[in-house]
Amino acid sequence: GAKFTHATCQFARYVMIETMRKLSVGTGIPFAEAVIRRPEDMYIAKARHRVAYNKLLQILQREAFVFQEYREKAR
């Protein structure tokens, strides 16, 4: 459900940040710190998050629907 999707997204973000942090050590590229920083306008950041989250949910629901249709037609 939605809680699992949210937890998966949070875990993926964590893994991405940790990987970026490890790969950027000694390169002089500060993008790992930029990912962790909070944006100045939280309203816009939250709105972007909602849009991306809703789009991901729509994609996952569509995928589940297609798999269900394939299963029904395979019977």
1-36 pLDDT tens trace: 888 988 998 898 888 877 777 776 666 656 555 566
Q: What is the per-residue pLDDT for 30?
A: 62
Q: What is the pTM of this model?
A: 0.45
The residue ranges of every structural domain in the chain are: 1-37, 38-74
Q: Give 5-65 as a DSSP string.
A: HHHHHHHHHHHHHHHHHHHTTTTT-THHHHHHSPPS-HHHHHHHHHHHHHHHHHHHHHHHH
